[in-house]
């Protein structure tokens, strides 16, 4: 299963629901395109819901990092929601877990943008 | 002709040696007694090959008795290494192949990934955990292999009249309790 991305608006926060695998190729480029598009349209508050992401490789991690920095460079904020144990472990061993603002509950994550 | 062996095999006194054919004929492959080659396959330099090799390796790891978490670590290490081989080593050149060899014994599960690229120096790979590198887009693959496997060896293959240049990476997962 490749990656699927669905974008929805909750107040002034844009939530991207991601499911499947974020790996080199289609998965990572699809995520890059969505984040680039949202940033170009001026979206400043982006919440990436990874609760249905079954697998992420180093290329996928690279896209998360690039998305984080590109959104920040445009004056916005990108946060993460609902990490699976494997994705959380991966961010921890790569020392990226504390770089991102990570949330477990969507309502809490949405409020944190205020 | 200089005979180079992966460092991993260097200390094995109870090993037998056999020659493989083709362009790798110059390499002397050593196999521990009791070690069985469960995968010995050439793959074209495509991302589709990465998926196929990952699936085959995961199946072999499951058959070797590793639990789901270890299968995930083994599969991901193979994927990271194979991506490096296809993208950075062979640079998607369809005339170059990536060779995967998976060996299984009662003590270890060994994966050898060999590309036909220019090779690289491990010491020149930036540390992805260094503060200045944390937000880099790439450069975490080799680190993840080291984190997920019990042993990782990288050997640069020098070109000869009968052998391509390249890189051989040996990934080892011990059977039994994970070494801390």
CATH code of the domain covering residue B141 = 3.30.565.10
Backbone angles phi, psi at A96, to 5 degrees: -100, -10
> Distance between CA B93 and CA B116 in Å, rounded?
10
Asked if A11 reaches chain B (Cβ–Cβ under 8 Å), the answer is no
> Which residues from chain A sit within 8 angstroms of residue B143, using beta carbons?
94
- Does a structural domain hold residue B14? no
C-alpha torsion A22→A28→A29→A33, nearest 10? 90
Nearest CA to CA, how far is B29 from chain A (Å)?
A: 31
Q: Do A65 and B129 touch (CB under 8 A)?
A: no
> Distance between CA A96 and CA A72 in Å, rounded?
16
State the total domains in chain B: 1
Nearest to B47 among A24, A69, A90 (CB): A24
Q: Sign of torsion, CA B98 B108 B121 B78?
A: positive
Please give the biggest Cα pair distance in chain B.
46
- Does a structural domain hold residue B81? yes
Tell me what pLDDT residue B163 has: 86
Domain range spanning residue A8?
Answer: 4-112
Instruction: Extract the tokens encoding B124.
Output: 């020149």
CATH code of the domain covering residue A67 = 3.30.750.24
Tell me what pLDDT residue A1 has: 57
Q: Tell me the whole-structure pTM to 2 decimals.
A: 0.85
> Which residues from chain A sit within 8 angstroms of residue B80, using beta carbons?
57-58
- Does a structural domain hold residue B19? no
Tell me what pLDDT residue B34 has: 80
Nearest CA to CA, how far is A90 from chain B (Å)?
A: 9
Asked if A36 reaches chain B (Cβ–Cβ under 8 Å), the answer is no
Q: How many CB atoms lie within 10 A of CB B112?
A: 23
Short-list B157, B167, B120, B125, CA closest to B144: B125
> Which residues from chain A sit within 8 angstroms of residue B144, using beta carbons?
58, 90, 93-94
A25: closest chain B residue by CA = B47
Q: How many CB pairs under 8 A join A and B?
A: 45
Domain range spanning residue B167?
Answer: 34-174
**pLDDT tens digits, A29-86:** 999 999 999 999 999 999 999 999 999 999 999 999 999 999 999 999 999 999 999 9
State the total domains in chain A: 1
Backbone angles phi, psi at A75, to 5 degrees: 90, 10
> Which residues from chain B sit within 8 angstroms of residue A24, using beta carbons?
47, 50, 83, 87
Res A25 pLDDT > 70: yes
Tell me what pLDDT residue A2 has: 82
The residues, ordered by sequence, that sit 6+ positions from A113 with a Cβ below 8 Å of its Cβ are A12, A13, A45, A47, A77, A79
Task: Return contacts of B123-130, CB within 8 angstroms, 24+ apart.
Answer: B128/A94, B129/A94, B129/A95
Tell me what pLDDT residue B30 has: 55
Nearest to A95 among B72, B134, B144 (CB): B134
Tell me what pLDDT residue B32 has: 63
Give me the tens of pLDDT residue by residue for chain B, a chain 180 residues long: 333 333 333 322 222 233 333 444 444 455 666 889 999 999 999 999 999 999 999 999 999 999 999 999 999 999 999 999 999 999 999 899 999 999 999 999 999 999 999 998 899 999 999 999 999 999 999 999 999 999 999 999 999 988 889 999 999 999 975 555
Beta carbons of A67 and A35 less than 8 angstroms apart? yes
Asked if A72 reaches chain B (Cβ–Cβ under 8 Å), the answer is no
> Distance between CA A81 and CA A17 in Å, rounded?
9
A23: closest chain B residue by CA = B79
- Does a structural domain hold residue B141? yes
């Amino acid at each position: 299963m490749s990656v699927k991305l669905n974008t929805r608006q909750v107040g002034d926060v844009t939530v991207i629901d991601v499911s499947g695998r974020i790996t080199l190729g289609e998965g990572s480029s699809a995520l890059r395109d969505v984040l680039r598009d949202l940033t170009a349209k001026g979206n400043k508050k982006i919440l990436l819901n990874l609760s249905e992401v079954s697998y992420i490789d180093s290329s996928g991690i690279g896209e998360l990092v690039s998305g984080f920095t590109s959104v920040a460079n445009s004056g916005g904020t990108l946060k993460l929601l609902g990490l699976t144990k494997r994705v959380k472990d991966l961010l921890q061993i790569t020392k990226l877990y504390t770089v991102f603002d990570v949330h477990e509950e969507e309502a809490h994550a949405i409020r944190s943008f205020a | 002709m200089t005979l180079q062996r992966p460092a991993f095999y260097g200390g094995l006194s109870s090993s037998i040696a056999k020659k493989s054919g083709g362009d790798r004929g110059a390499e002397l492959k050593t196999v521990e007694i009791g070690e069985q080659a469960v995968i010995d396959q050439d793959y074209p330099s495509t991302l589709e090959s990465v998926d196929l090799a990952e699936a085959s390796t995961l199946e072999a790891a499951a058959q070797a008795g590793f639990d789901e978490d270890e299968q995930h670590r083994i599969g991901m290490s193979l994927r990271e290494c194979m991506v490096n081989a296809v993208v950075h080593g062979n640079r998607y050149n369809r005339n170059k192949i990536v060779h995967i060899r998976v060996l299984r014994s009662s003590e270890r599960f060994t994966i050898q990934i060999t590309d036909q690229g220019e090779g690289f120096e491990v010491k020149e790979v930036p540390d992805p955990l260094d503060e200045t590198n944390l937000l880099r887009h790439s450069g975490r693959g080799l680190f993840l292999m080291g984190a997920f496997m019990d042993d990782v060896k990288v050997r640069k293959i020098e070109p000869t009249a009968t052998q391509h240049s390249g890189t051989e990476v040996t990934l080892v997962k011990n059977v039994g309790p994970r070494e801390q």
